[in-house]
Amino acid sequence: MATEIITKEDLNEFRERLLSDIKSLLAGNPVQENTRWLKSYPVKNMLRISPGTLQNLRVNGTISYTKIGGILYYKYDDIQRLLDGNRIKK
């Protein structure tokens, strides 16, 4: 099992986003999630796939990503579009 290290910056970003979301909800405004970026671990959990499968999705161009200093980031909206585009309608 891979271990993900949470940095102080990650916690601070989470705190700021959480406070902003709570303030928006209290003010009656919908929460905006369109600029959210995810690391590999949450994406694997969200899609319920293995690291190898995630790599295959990157290699074949199914999923776009951004690499900064060895860390891969995935746009939340792209993941959501991938899920919606593969929805099976019965």
In angstroms, rounded to a whole number, what is the distance separating the alpha carbons of residues 38 and 64? 12
Q: What single-letter amino acid sits at 1?
A: M
- Give the per-residue pLDDT at 63: 93
Closest CA to 65 of 50, 51, 55, 75: 75
Q: What torsion, rounded to 10 degrees, do the Cα atoms 25, 34, 15, 26 define?
A: -10
Residues in the chain predicted with pLDDT less than 50, given as ranges, are: none
- Give the per-residue pLDDT at 25: 78
- Give the per-residue pLDDT at 10: 84
- Give the per-residue pLDDT at 65: 93
This prediction's pTM: 0.58
Closest CA to 55 of 65, 45, 69, 46: 65
- Give the per-residue pLDDT at 31: 54
Answer for the pair 51, 2: CB distance below 8 angstroms, yes or no. Answer: yes
Give the sign of the dihedral formed by CA 17, CA 23, CA 26, CA 28: negative
